[in-house]
């Protein structure tokens, strides 16, 4: 086949903007130019723009997502979505691409919206009997009932912005006096807050991807953080030790792989996703699902692909060819 025009879409409207730019750069630089004619597309609140390998610049249409220059208009064949947060991870852009019939690498609009909303996603997962932490939800303007929160989740607990990633708006609360200030800080990231009981145990990160007609679980990574939890500094500033493959008992590995595949299948996930689990009494408890995981040089997914003995460029090819095959 001839080369397909592939747009790598990064940026976005949230605190994860800079991380998304790094992910976009990694993907753009790694993609196989023998298969793809690649364009790096950057989206922010003010501009939607693109650049190609020859440093030609384009404006991206907000109507049909075509690339427009002074002399030419190009239509994309495929999109590699690496926007962490809105509008790429929450389903907004997915809905546009679905309307335009442009294949893309991440989940459909419904599934993206569901998984981006931690509260709603946990409710669905509990119906599937997936082990999770206890939680309590608050919307902005709602009375903060610290007594009810303590009865429900106890201390320590985590206060989290309901619709955010990269650990923005996440605070560990050890005692009641810290609760209201932490909630108020989390409200700066989102108008919805979820408060979860703090699970104590070994934490792992699990990449899952669909290619060659099958769902594959990547080598599991154990996370040993220097900080209170796997926060921004641990994820992106080297404040954690990430061991791939994880040195965990075989029965833990098998349980985690089983749940990871089951969640991927039941929720209708697509492309590559990453989930976080904590082991409590040998049982993996799901913390969260990232449907557009980081793909920076420091990110977990590239580490897991390398542990498989696979080149990252080939991994991307397999993901994208699977998506084209399902079109």
Handedness of CA 51, 274, 120, 187 (dihedral sign): negative
- pLDDT tops 70 at residue 53: yes
Per mean pLDDT, which range of 39-53, 78-92, 150-164 is the poorest? 150-164
Between the alpha carbon of residue 267 and those of residues 42, 177, 261, the distances in Å are 29, 38, 10
Tens of pLDDT, residues 298-315: 899 999 999 999 999 999
Say whether both 213 and 254 belong to one domain.
yes
The CATH number assigned to the domain holding 161 equals: 3.30.1490.20
Which pLDDT score, from 0 to 100, does residue 228 have? 62
What's the number of domains the chain is made of?
3
Say whether both 220 and 126 belong to one domain.
yes
The CATH number assigned to the domain holding 275 equals: 3.30.470.20
Say whether both 193 and 225 belong to one domain.
no
Residue among 214, 201, 248, 235 nearest 303 (CA): 235
Say whether both 95 and 125 belong to one domain.
no
- pLDDT tops 90 at residue 259: yes
Task: Quote the domain boundaries for residue 145.
Answer: 135-197
Percent of the chain with pLDDT over 90: 80
- pLDDT tops 50 at residue 100: yes
**Of 166, 181, 197, which residue sits at a domain end?**
197
C-alpha dihedral, 270 to 275 to 279 to 280, nearest 10°:
-90
The CATH number assigned to the domain holding 67 equals: 3.40.50.20
Which pLDDT score, from 0 to 100, does residue 169 have? 74
Average pLDDT of every residue of the chain? 92
Tens of pLDDT, residues 199-246: 999 999 999 999 999 999 999 999 997 656 444 444 445 567 899 999
Residue among 79, 77, 3 nearest 41 (CA): 79
């Amino acid at each position: 086949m001839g080369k397909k025009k592939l747009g790598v879409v990064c940026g976005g409207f949230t605190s994860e903007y800079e991380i998304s730019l790094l992910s976009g750069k990694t993907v753009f630089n790694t993609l196989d130019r023998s298969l793809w004619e690649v364009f790096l597309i950057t989206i922010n609140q003010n501009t939607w723009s693109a650049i190609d390998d020859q440093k030609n610049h384009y404006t991206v249409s907000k109507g049909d997502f075509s690339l427009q220059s002074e002399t030419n208009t190009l239509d994309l064949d495929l999109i590699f979505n690496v926007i962490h947060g809105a509008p790429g991870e929450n389903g907004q852009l997915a809905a546009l691409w679905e309307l335009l019939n442009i294949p893309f690498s991440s989940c459909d609009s419904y599934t993206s919206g569901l998984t981006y909303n931690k509260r709603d996603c946990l409710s669905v997962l509990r119906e599937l009997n997936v082990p999770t932490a206890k939680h309590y939800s608050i919307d902005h303007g709602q009375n903060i009932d610290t007594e009810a929160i303590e009865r429900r989740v106890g201390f320590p607990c985590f206060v989290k912005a309901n619709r955010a990633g990269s650990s923005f708006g996440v605070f560990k609360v050890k005692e009641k006096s810290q609760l209201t200030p932490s909630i108020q800080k989390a409200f700066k990231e989102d108008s919805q807050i979820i408060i979860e009981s703090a699970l104590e145990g070994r934490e792992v990160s699990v990449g899952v991807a669909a290619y060659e007609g099958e769902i594959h679980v990547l080598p599991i990574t154990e996370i040993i953080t220097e900080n209170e939890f796997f926060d921004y500094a641990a994820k992106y500033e080297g404040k954690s030790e990430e061991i791939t493959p994880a040195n965990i008992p075989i029965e833990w590995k098998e349980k985690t792989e089983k749940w990871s595949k089951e969640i991927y299948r039941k929720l209708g996930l697509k492309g590559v996703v990453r989930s976080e689990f904590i082991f409590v009494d040998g049982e993996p408890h799901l913390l969260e699902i990232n449907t557009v995981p980081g793909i920076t040089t420091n990110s977990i997914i590239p580490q897991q692909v390398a542990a498989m003995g696979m080149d990252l460029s080939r991994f991307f090819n397999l993901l994208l060819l699977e998506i084209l095959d399902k079109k």
